[in-house]
Structure 1
């Protein structure tokens, strides 16, 4: 996985994540929408034959886009840990 910053400002960022597809893109965009201060979050795959996604995030200025992405990763990680705990209860 390689990450490239395509555009960056105080309220907007676009990052390309090589080697990833819709699974990670949907998870990150959905988690970003839960972060306070994020007003827009989405991703797209530039071409079906290209194995990369571009994540877009716009904030209202209360949080920087890269900080919002870090919080979104924490949110996704917390969900994953909760699911793992529930699965361990079943075993």
Structure 2
């Protein structure tokens, strides 16, 4: 994937999560997100349909990383998978 696209998406995600620490999701506008991310509205809409799609894509990416991690380590038992899931979840909270 193009690194500029990845960087733009990360800036948008981080801006949204930063704004969520200060105000409710419903009160956050695309304009606020783009301003905080220092990207244009065009860049935002080139990557996302709306702010819901930012969250959906973030969660889908995190889920895929989790599945890839399980497959990489060939975890079969539920205990092993839950352990990895809990460790993975803790890493996400740091973001």
TM range (shorter): 0.3 to 0.5
Structure with more of its chain in strand, by fraction: 1
Higher relative contact order (CA 8 A, sep 6+): 1
Q: Compute the TM-score of the two structures, normalised by the length of structure 1.
A: 0.38
Structure with more of its chain in helix, by fraction: 2
